[in-house]
Amino acid sequence: MQGAGELAGLDALRKPGPLVLVPTMGALHEGHLSLVEQGAALGTVVVTIFVNPTQFGPGEDFAAYPRDLASDLALLEGTSAAAVFAPAVADMYGPPGEVTVRAGRRAEGLCGASRPGHFDGVLTVVAKLFGMVRPDIAIFGRKDAQQCLVIEQMVHDLRLPVRLVDAPTVREPDGLAMSSRNRYLDTAQRGRATCLSRALARGRALLGEGVRERGVIEAAMTGELAASDSVDYAALARAAGTGGAHPGAGRPCGPGHCGKGGAGPPDRQCGPGNRGPWSGRNEPAGRGCPRRRLTGSGYTWKVASAKHVSSTRSFLTPWFLPPARARG
């Protein structure tokens, strides 16, 4: 990849089509690469790589979070990404006391209860990335459903000129959702982790059969999770448009889970009849607040963390891929 001077160099990518942001924390896998390819169908893709400290709480895995920027860049060179932006913490945050974003009601309960302050950090860094990259479109994975809800709320409430697009969860052959944190798992934990996708499938099947009693679905999910002794909670949630995700309110959604303490690979499935978050890739590109409403839910489990084995470099300057590769 080639250097491109200042961040303003991204303006050169603002061609007739939209600029598409794919935000990541690095440690890329096929799930991330699928976001890039979905974005490439909509416009020119800029990938950001930044392990955001403000979304990690005390005792979570910020220091251990896997970092391998060189490998990430090598992976992206084989995709349709046009540029990569990997800022340092000092580029993103000033001294303590600067303006931050509060997630509000949609961050209450579910993963928000397990990770207080997490979604405030997520929204703050996403708002900063929106301001720095100025994308027309931003793509987020459907796997992190509550995160998608709070981002949707921020875009709506702050009237941000960004169109939000969802991407489906990419899974391993045995059903486990791809996640950067999967590398924390040893062989035994990796085997037990497949109970997560089985629980999701069980809950989704019950929804497809017309079951709407939360207790029945949650009990069935919990039964599938008996293979693991580290499950924090199992829950079925409903989302009611722009305004909050709460158990038993609004439209039904399938089961899912999020990682407790920042150490569990997150996972979600939307129930039958719920297409998922926001707008789809077949809708016309353009700016504007999202019109579709995400439905989400979660159960959480806990796994052991592992120390990262490589350090990372961070750069304010984006890398630009050669045009031929950028076009795929």
Catalytic (active-site) positions = 32
Cβ pair 163, 287 in contact under 8 A: yes
DSSP per residue, 182-246 = GGG--HHHHHHTTHHHHHHHHHHHHHHTT---HHHHHHHHHHHGGG-S-EEE----EE-STT-EE
Residue 279 pairs with which residues in a beta bridge?
A: 165
Query: Could you give the angle at which helices 69-77 and 30-40 cross, rounded to 10 degrees?
Result: 40
List the one residue out of 319, 216, 204, 196 whose CA is nearest residue 257. Answer: 196
User: Are the C-beta atoms of residues 297 and 254 closer than 8 Å to each other?
Assistant: yes
For 320, phi then psi, to 5°, come to -110, 130
Task: Indicate the DSSP class of residue 294.
Answer: -
Q: How many residues does the chain have?
A: 328
Euclidean distance between CA atoms 23 and 143, whole angstroms? 14
Token output for 100: 């931050």
86 CB-near residues (< 8 Å, 6+ apart): 26, 48, 49, 50, 69, 313, 314, 315, 318, 319
CA distance 260 to 265: 9
